[in-house]
Structure 1
């Protein structure tokens, strides 16, 4: 080759490279959140196909990578992935020596970063610390602080650098309300800082040290609402978007509610805010276009266009390679979860729990009393519309019977505290009826909210009781609805007497605020009220009792009811039709 030809080839190559560098770059950021064990298009609980799954998400992401180039696609997860399906429980506690499926799946899919959810922390140090180490990408939590060093326990942020030349910074945070729900031993050595102030100091550090082209917030915290205290807000994503300049995009989650808005921050800049809700049914997708610029010989990029959308992946075909790769794991969990542990003589339904005594809720209450020998037990429905059918009962059915890995506790409460606890529960649950045509239940336009599903408030705080007989007069104002008649064994009920009360660990720690706001117990006194706590999760003990019984015939206690029945019975039928179409 002639020297002139060589020189010309080099010059053309340099020009081509320079032209490429001067072109606008379009990137796409994809967020999953609150996956809750939905890795595969199979529901291990109901033994049926599942619409949402990471297998479908992977098909979507691989399509983007093929169309736009893998270096222009950024894949992020926003926590609450270690809990929700039997497959999660299996890898957390049954075969903990194996790599967690939540690490294997995310690594296979090529995630770039992730954050931690409150249900991830709920699994305990031994599970989540191991999971952190198994991930092949950064796990983030700027406000998860090592209490001994006062430094972040995991990375506060990461800067993702790909071949496109961009520096994309992701700042991760978790809702600081963890101590309100989980006992300290689960998060020992940690503290959870308020999000707005943490975002401000982290943003300052990022701008000082990293000079990124794009800054993304990845927050396991809802939009606005939840618990609000003088120290923190549970759901603070909106406040961060508005009050902390610097973010181009904020991906969030935790509240299981689809969200797609553009917010103005205090400097008047637009911030795209997206929440794909839960169970890998949707993904949040942001498209950003950046224009290159050179200042003092240094190349950087300016954001010129940004858009956001929620993409429904429920009808996308699951990725065949993904499914084939994980088929051995799927088969192992199926074999474990389909083990028969007993029989039910009749079918029980969670939907019955909302309208009075129900066989479903009373079975749990019965077993709580049997296991603990407490005087009284509290429990709330943890599923909206689930059933365990008559016939063989399996390990998988236990995840319908009891959704979360809460432990079981016994507390000392006065009779007055028992009543006040129930007063707040029913105030969250039922309407104050002014006429026979009113609703019985406290309903709202929340059908798209996966945690409310038509109720104004969270149904997992709708506690009813066993061990006492009582009525709930829905014509009375809030705080005056519950009238306790007697102990269910016929003994008098005394508001000044101390009783032993069985509750789950979420409630015992102050979850739902029924014991604090409701019963009036100071939060720092709750720990001293606990006189017994189970070593394992409540589901384990419920399972053991069913195994012992062999055949069970769950029936409602009929120890409480809504009154006046002339109003409440027809109203219950109307509300049942609204909620369940029957």
Structure 2
């Protein structure tokens, strides 16, 4: 008589947690819904039913976001990184590298890897000295007689965003190529019952070059047969679906998005007959965990660490006379963006400054300004660069920026902004057609943006803001963040037309520390600030753009 055995596994994925470990937002100094403290309660409830057959995975971008990360990455470096401490406490089985983890630099992420009790994967992160993976390409787990292999991959677009010393000694392989190689290897060598893909790469698209695609998770699912389940992230957009691979097999694909607001939850049921696997069923779902109870044991366990972070973020550094809002940046000159642009000019002595709003709807309120507010003013740990650009390149750079941002209006009833109803639930686009962190404007020059003109003819640079003539043939010193200076957003490459391999030669100064550090220093020096818009550029014709902007503001932000 046949011996039948059925094993049920429960696979839980978090991704793009971005420091949301606790039910408290250290930036805005208020409770927050998403947190690993709630994920912990959900996982613990599953462990009561499934025991060790619960497999807990994290998909990277855990080292950047909240001040908790910054404090343990760069200030309290003698202690165990809190991102390792909390993962060990929650008993994660596998971690995967994210691009923002690489952004912290070798000193931070190499230390973090050593402090974790679980492996950190990166099959396509290659050590250039050995030509082998820098860390483990896959992890083998055993549960109730079932052998599970988890293969980790990272988006290979890292060099487009990050300066090379952050990833020195590494290169990043095409995801499809790497996945094909490692699936073949684990099938031959490990002979697993289940293969799971853990990919820090979005659904599809992003930066596309002849060598790779930034977001290739569904492409791998289709073109590399062998995966039973693919868990992905990076693009901050929830996804619960499946694709059919080239062999006709259905592959469940899940993405829980960001900030520990949800988890990907898959049940895998494996049937064995006389010791041989005969059937594998995968059912996936996304679970909103914002109403889960807070794991109070976790909160108590980390009270000392959170007290230290609170002490750090509650330090007063200055005072603002008026409230500034990032939302104003989409409709013209704004005090929020211009404060950063002006401080960049002051810090660097550059002629012109570029910057985009990095948060969709942030505010720094009138009154005392604290360290925590700096994470609203400037979200990422970018460095500050000064680069050389010709006047013509500056004009082309701005043309691409506004083309990503602004609709070409055909009538006064059209939208001012380039909106997309399909992205309103997208945590990166948030109602825009394109990423708002690429919506650069400028300080140091006076110009108009004619929204009735086609791409290439919208931007008219009138003069330098100091009254001097703007010369398209002259070389100017331009302040940009390191993300932009390394090619992020492609404004310098596709926009200005500078070959990517030439970008490094254009950098004539780079900061030793992150940009937020210097912005904080300048605010401390000045003490009391009253940020105002520069009024150095505007959309025209204003008889169209002002009413259209008011309509679009209501669509995006309501009556705020």
TM-score of Structure 1 vs Structure 2, range by shorter chain: over 0.9
Q: SS where residue 330 of structure 2 aligns?
A: helix
Given the alignment of the two structures, is residue 42 of structure 1 paired with residue 42 of structure 2, yes or no?
Answer: no
Pick aligned residue for 2:299 from 315, 319, 323 = 323
Q: Residue 461 of structure 2: which of 454, 475, 484 is its match?
A: 484
Q: Which residue of 2 aligns with 1:263?
A: 243
8 Å Cα contact 2:322/2:366 also seen in 1: yes
Which one of 514, 519, 525 corresponds to residue 542 of structure 1?
519
Distance in 2 of aligned mates of 1:68 and 1:134 = 27
2:214 pairs with 1:237: no
Superposition map of 1:146-225 within 5 A: 146-162=127-143, 164-225=144-205
What secondary structure does 2:265 align onto? strand
Whether 1:92 and 2:69 are equivalent positions in the alignment is no
CA deviation map 1:63-97 (0-9, x unaligned): 0000222x110000000000000000000001111
Alpha-carbon deviation of 1:479? 1.6
Cα pair 1:213 1:300 within 8 Å, conserved: no
Task: Name the counterpart of 1:30.
Answer: 12
CA distance in 1: counterparts of 2:358 and 2:48, whole angstroms: 41
Aligned-partner Cα distance in 1 for 2:19–2:149 = 27
How many Å separate the matches in 2 of 1:320 and 1:369?
46
Question: 1:386: which partner in 2?
Answer: 362
Matched, 1:343 2:325: no
2:513, 2:37 → 1: CA distance? 32
Q: 1:61-460, aligned counterparts within 5 Å? A: 61-69=43-51, 71-162=52-143, 164-294=144-274, 299-445=275-421, 446-460=423-437
Q: How many residues align?
A: 558
Distance in structure 1 (CA, Å) of the matches to 2:279 and 2:50: 18
- Cα pair 1:381 1:460 within 8 Å, conserved: yes
Q: Matched residues in 1 for 2:528 and 2:389: separation?
A: 34
Question: SS where residue 182 of structure 1 aligns?
Answer: coil
In 2, the alpha carbon distance for the partners of 1:174 and 1:472 equals 38
| TM-score, structure 1 normalization | 0.95
Q: Distance in 2 between matches of 1:572 and 1:469?
A: 21
Tell me, yes or no, if the aligned pair for 1:213 and 1:302 is still in contact at 8 Å: no
CA–CA distance in structure 2, aligned partners of residues 300 and 159 of structure 1: 19
Of the candidates 526, 531, 535, which is equivalent to residue 503 of structure 2? 526
Deviations 1:310-350 (A, max 9, x none): 00000111111111101111111011101000000000000
2-structure distance, mates of 1:302, 1:130: 43
1:44 to partner: Cα distance:
0.1
Q: Among residues 515, 523, 529, which one is paired with 2:492 in the alignment?
A: 515
Q: How do residues 51-70 of structure 1 correspond to structure 2 at under 5 angstroms?
A: 51-69=33-51
3-state DSSP class of the match of 1:397?
helix
Does the 8 Å contact 2:22/2:37 carry over to 1? yes
Residues 431-450 of structure 1: per-residue CA shift (max 9 Å, x gap) = 00000000000000211110
Structure 2 unmatched runs, 5+? none
In the alignment, the residues of structure 1 paired with residue 254 and residue 202 of structure 2 have an alpha-carbon distance, to the nearest angstrom, of 10
CA contact (8 A) 1:288 1:303 kept: no
Deviations 1:523-542 (A, max 9, x none): 00000000000000000000
CA distance in 2, matches of 1:504, 1:535: 12
Separation of aligned partners in 1, 2:278 and 2:515: 53
SS at match of 1:396: helix
Query: 1:470 and 1:304 mapped to 2: Cα distance?
Result: 62
What is the CA–CA distance in structure 2 between the aligned matches of 1:478 and 1:38, rounded to whole Å?
Answer: 40
1:304 shift after superposition:
3.4
**Cα deviation code 1:160-218 (max 9, x no counterpart):** 013x1111110000000000000111100000000001000000110011011110000
CA distance in structure 1 between the partners assigned to 2:115 and 2:153 by the alignment:
20
Looking at structure 1, the residues matched to 380 and 50 of structure 2 have their Cα atoms a distance apart, in angstroms, of 40
2:11–2:54 contact (8 Å) kept in structure 1: yes
CA distance in 2, matches of 1:326, 1:302: 45
Name the structure 2 match of 1:8. none
Q: Please report how far the alpha carbon of residue 478 of structure 1 lies from its aligned counterpart in structure 2 after TM superposition.
A: 1.2
Report if the CA contact (8 A) 1:388-1:397 is conserved.
yes
| 3-state DSSP of counterpart to 1:448 | coil
Deviation for aligned residue 1:519:
0.1
Give the number of the structure whose alpha-carbon radius of gyration is greater. Answer: 1
Distance 2:369 2:271 in 1: 60
Maintained 8 Å contact 1:166/1:301: no
Shift of 1:303: 3.5
Tell me the residue number matched to 1:463: 440
Separation in 1 of the partners of 2:154 and 2:278? Answer: 29
What secondary structure sits across from 1:35 in the alignment? coil
3-state SS of paired residue (2:372): coil
8 A Cα contact 2:5 2:273, kept in partner:
no
Task: Describe the superposition over 1:39-68 as per-residue Cα deviations: whole angstroms up to 9, x where unpaired.
Answer: 000000000001000000000000000022
User: Which secondary structure does the structure 2 equivalent of 1:479 belong to?
Assistant: coil
Other structure's SS at 1:369 match: helix
**Cα offset for 1:300?**
4.2
Alignment RMSD (CA, Å): 1.0
